[in-house]
Amino acid sequence: MRVATIVGTRAQFVKAAPVSVALAARGHEEHLIHTGQHYGPLMSDVFFEELPLPTPELNLGVGSGKTGWQVAETLLRTEQALADLMPDIVVVYGDASATLGGALAARKARLPLAHVEAGLRSGNRAMPEEDNRILTDHAADLLLCPTPTAMKNLRREGLAKRAKLVGDTMCDAVRRFLPLALEKTTLLEELGLESGRYFLATVHRNYNTEDPVVLGRLVQALAALDLPVVFLVHPRTRKTLAIQPEAPGAASSGDRIIAIEPRSYLETLLLQSHAAAVLTDSGGMQKEAMLVGTPCVTLRPETEWPETVESGWNVLAGSDPERIVEAVSGLVAPKETPDILGDGAAAEKVVAALERKVGQGSGA
């Protein structure tokens, strides 16, 4: 089976890695197309060094830009790549511009399309990611869902016949790579951190980063917490902070916020594992925090992962500083981590579903 995998962001590299391992174990031929939505040593290169991903056959170099432009460029550049490869099936992941652009390219090439992490819905159509999810799901031939909630969402949209529950490949990744991450203990020493005595924060969503006032309120909340905050600053966030007087590192933030560049996947897992809490607007980190046993405060009013909230591991706080501080002060980690994201074998189930779709093998 010839599989074309289209990825372009840090989260997608993580989601794809377990599936790449499973494809190789079954003797399949994978061709990795990197759209270049995320690029550079910390946002891209280190993931291919740390994770068992094949070297990208193509890097399309799409880069940064407005969502519509990124989708259009991904479509244009991927369409020719797929015409040259002519795979048996195309696989896209998640909800980024690379996802929708790759999905449209597969449809234009008349190639079977599978969407891993299908069926997620936040209910917020102001998020570009929500449109990307919905449009990709309706374009795909095979919808591979991480949770029963995702399956229910697709049933409501009349897509049940294309959907299959497989579990979450990010859960596979955490189970596989957390032991390796926990070996990187020197990072805590380098940053002057004590386990359980700091918070970890990330902010990258458009509606939190494009408006300096909104981002300034989030920084205000981080600076008001009672422990140091390690702030992994996304390039988009750093661009806005450059015109925001209350940015991390400015005199008004004091020593409370430790603003650093994004770290590798393994180092980020380590930092999540030892944090007192994670504060983020990332969908992936909401899950990862729960999986490593760290409570989370989501800097959004909604989530596409309601299971993390229902299980008590996640609190939705939006961007109001008082609400964020209150949410953090009231956090209590549940005694158990529920098995709501699968059994750690999602990648094998993804590959089995791909095999059935292209008519090779009976799967598992």
**What is the pTM assigned to this prediction?**
0.92
pLDDT in the model for residue 239: 76
d(CA 53, CA 65): 26
pLDDT in the model for residue 364: 32
Percent of all residues in the chain with a pLDDT value above 90, rounded to a whole number: 79
Catalytic residue among 38, 204, 234, 274: 204
**Rounded average pLDDT over 172-200:** 94
Q: Name the DSSP letter for residue 246.
A: T
Minimum mean pLDDT among 120-129, 220-229, 230-239, 283-292: which range?
230-239
Per residue in 209-256, pLDDT (tens digit) is: 888 888 999 999 999 999 999 999 988 788 777 654 444 443 344 568
**Rounded average pLDDT over 135-162:** 98
**Rounded average pLDDT over 105-125:** 97
pLDDT at residue 147 is higher than 50? yes
Neighbours of 150 (CB within 10 A): 25
pLDDT at residue 363 is higher than 50? no
pLDDT at residue 142 is higher than 60? yes
pLDDT at residue 200 is higher than 70? yes
d(CA 166, CA 291): 17
Minimum mean pLDDT among 117-121, 123-127, 268-272: which range?
123-127
d(CA 153, CA 166): 15
Contacts of 235 (CB under 8 A, 6+ apart): 43, 64
The per-residue DSSP string of 53-65 comes to -PPPSEE----S-
**Rounded average pLDDT over 252-280:** 89
Sheet strands (E) in 204-260: 229-233, 257-260
Q: What is the mean pLDDT of the chain?
A: 91
Which ranges of 86-211 does DSSP label H, i.e. alpha helix?
A: 97-108, 128-139, 148-156, 169-181, 186-191, 206-209
pLDDT at residue 303 is higher than 90? yes
**Rounded average pLDDT over 277-296:** 97
Q: For 177-329, CATH number?
A: 3.40.50.2000
**Rounded average pLDDT over 330-359:** 94
pLDDT at residue 312 is higher than 90? yes
Per residue in 10-37, pLDDT (tens digit) is: 999 999 999 999 999 999 999 999 998 8
Per residue in 54-99, pLDDT (tens digit) is: 999 889 888 888 889 999 999 999 999 999 999 999 999 999 999 9
pLDDT in the model for residue 250: 39
346 burial level (CB within 10 Å; 0-12, 13-18, 19+): buried
Write out the residue limits of the CATH 3.40.50.2000 domain(s) in the chain.
2-168+342-358, 177-329
**In this structure, which CATH number among 3.20.20.240, 3.40.50.2000, 3.40.960.10, 1.10.1270.20 belongs to the domain 2-168+342-358?**
3.40.50.2000
138 among known catalytic residues: no
d(CA 288, CA 278): 10
pLDDT in the model for residue 184: 84
Percent of all residues in the chain with a pLDDT value above 70, rounded to a whole number: 95
pLDDT in the model for residue 360: 54
pLDDT in the model for residue 61: 86
The answer to whether residues 326 and 297 touch, using CB atoms and an 8 Å cutoff, is no
